[in-house]
Amino acid sequence: MTDPATLSATIVDGYVDEPAHFGVPPYISTYPRFTAGALVDAGVPESNVTYHTIDELRDDRAKWADVADADLLIYVGGMTVPGKYVGGTPAEPDEVRELAWVAEGTTVMGGPIRFGVGEENAGGQDMQRKNLDYDFVAKGDVEAAVYDLVDSGLEGFGNRMRDNAELDRWAAKGAFVVEQHPNHPEHLICEMETSRGCAYRCSFCTEPLYGNPAFRTADSVVKEVENLYNRGARHFRLGRQADILAFGGDGEAPNPDALRRLYGGIREVAPDLGTLHLDNMNPITITRWPEKSREAIRIIAEHNTPGDTAAFGLESADPVVQEENNLNVSAEECFEAVKIVNEVAGWRPGDDPADAPTFGDGAANRLPKLLPGINLLHGLIGEREETFDHNKRFLQRVYDEGLMVRRINIRQVMAFDGTEMSGTGASIANDHKQLFKKYKREIREEIDRPMLRRVTPAGTVLPNVHLEYHQDGRTFGRQLGTYPLLVGIPGERELGRTIDVAVVDHGYRSVTGIPYPLDFNDASMDELSSIPGIGKSTAGDIVVNRPYESHDELDLDANILKYVQ
């Protein structure tokens, strides 16, 4: 019998991406935190728990000793939606298997990887369940499996789901593990669970495999935030739920009072937080309960930080695809939900909320408080050529009606056992790959760029952009938050620091920015000439005539001077 007090455990985070859960850096998901809390609750000292990301192990082979020498290796990871990532690279199946081979102790694997893996982390694939040579695979909650495994002296466990009392303890006790994340504390955002499971049963989605919605209390979430805050965390996203509006209710109808306790409580225990964002919001909730939803959205916009995004799972605007896949919202209903979020939360700090949505001349130079994001999924049952036209018309209507969406997420299905899509698999997605590529390019050119200009017009200030990498003589960075904008800055600046940036130009899904406020006595030619209204000739004149005691000496119009004020 292994004594928990002497047991050493290593948690390896291979990252997760689920319909209602994200954990690729700069995010840390709930899985490693809850698992660490379960270990401590079972009697393992905090000092005996080691946490590594898969990227750490790639970068430093010496850290593999923590994998080899641990009495218990816990791998958490799994991708059930495809994506492209900047802050980290999710573990591939071969890497997950290598961890099991290197480990000399007991090995257990858990998280959404239990639903299946493909040949790579990408869309348009059939996913299969595999044990990848681990001693144990947690087919229930990995944190419950780890608690029971330690309690049994590493002999085994029954696959089960944790209950709310356990979750309350483990969420609070596992906060310490964030201190071991390589991004801690400045560049780390904690994914927070408010509920899991879903009241609806869309054909492709793994979230219903967690059952009907099960909600935490506001006090439980607030206590976890407080513990994380006390461990140095300053950035939080309420992302682990199918629908934030349903929090504290019956799983479908909004509960504004519960959201007021949740958001108000977080602000009280984390007074100097840097980010408070969310992820999923069900548009059908908004259209079925419009007044309660308006109140709930108003509460969120009162407490959140700017640039927040509520992901709407439209998935398809084609009524045939909607019916074949049990999608719960029509294009018309989703449009109405987009409109309501714009009207309630599409204002910018410094603007009057009553004027929402605010954009164009006279709008404040900050991001809106909360906008919808549209998810579109391809390769679903019943998809046809007309499906792509339906989607394009929907997006064009949103733009033409003067509304804003923060981002449009277009992806192809991953088919998992246990979902209705498992029978069809990835065949439709594969058949339509060329059509999909053409359509995606058209969306980027015809919708994304003009929408981005509306949401972030030239002069918009993005505070605290974290500089992440260099490419083609430019520095790229992002703010912390939900679906942050990728910002390209002329020149190669020191990485790992944060600067305020003003937007000067727009790509399809990214922007060009310059440091804000810009010092005309120090600015480079590339920075000066990128400002709208300043060409290379004027930029050259500015450089030649430096220094300036005041920008009033520049004799430039107000649209240019806004970048230096």
DSSP characters over 129-149: ---TT-SEE-SS-HHHHHHHH
DSSP 8-state class, residue 85: -
| Beta-carbon count within 10 A of 217 CB | 16
Per DSSP, the three-state class of 511 is strand
Residue 270, CA distances (Å) to 226, 273, 463 in order: 6, 5, 20
Per-residue pLDDT of the chain (565 residues; tens, 9 = 90+): 679 999 999 999 999 988 778 899 999 999 999 999 999 999 999 999 999 999 999 999 999 999 999 999 999 999 877 677 888 999 998 999 999 999 999 999 998 887 665 444 444 444 455 678 899 999 999 999 999 999 999 988 888 999 989 999 999 999 999 999 999 999 999 999 998 776 665 565 565 566 666 789 999 999 999 999 999 999 999 988 889 999 987 778 999 999 999 999 999 999 999 999 999 899 999 999 999 999 999 999 999 999 999 999 898 999 999 888 888 899 999 999 999 999 999 999 999 999 999 999 889 999 999 999 999 988 888 889 999 999 999 999 999 999 999 999 998 776 566 555 565 666 777 778 888 899 999 999 999 999 999 999 999 999 999 999 999 999 999 999 998 999 999 999 999 999 999 999 999 889 999 999 998 889 999 999 999 888 888 889 889 988 888 878 877 887 788 888 6
- Token pair recorded at residue 486: 């990728």
- Per the confidence metrics, is the pTM higher than 0.85? yes
pLDDT for the residue 328: 84
DSSP 8-state class, residue 447: I
Per DSSP, the three-state class of 412 is strand
Residue 457, CA distances (Å) to 67, 384, 494, 514, 533 in order: 48, 36, 26, 14, 14
Cα 349 to Cα 409: distance, rounded to the nearest angstrom: 26
| Beta-carbon count within 10 A of 372 CB | 28
- Torsion sign, CA atoms 178, 180, 186, 187: negative
List of E strands, 217-265: 235-240
Number of residues that this document lists for the chain: 565
Put residue 516 in one of left, alpha, beta given phi > 0 → left and psi -120 to 50 → alpha.
Answer: beta
The pairing of strands 72-79 and 214-215 is unpaired
pLDDT for the residue 124: 42
Cα 140 to Cα 137: distance, rounded to the nearest angstrom: 9
Per DSSP, the three-state class of 545 is coil
Cα 466 to Cα 464: distance, rounded to the nearest angstrom: 6
DSSP 8-state class, residue 458: T
- Token pair recorded at residue 185: 């504390």
Is residue 132 within 8 Å of 421, Cβ to Cβ?
no
Residue 562's Cβ-count burial label (10 Å; 0-12, 13-18, 19+) is middle
- Torsion sign, CA atoms 388, 390, 394, 396: positive
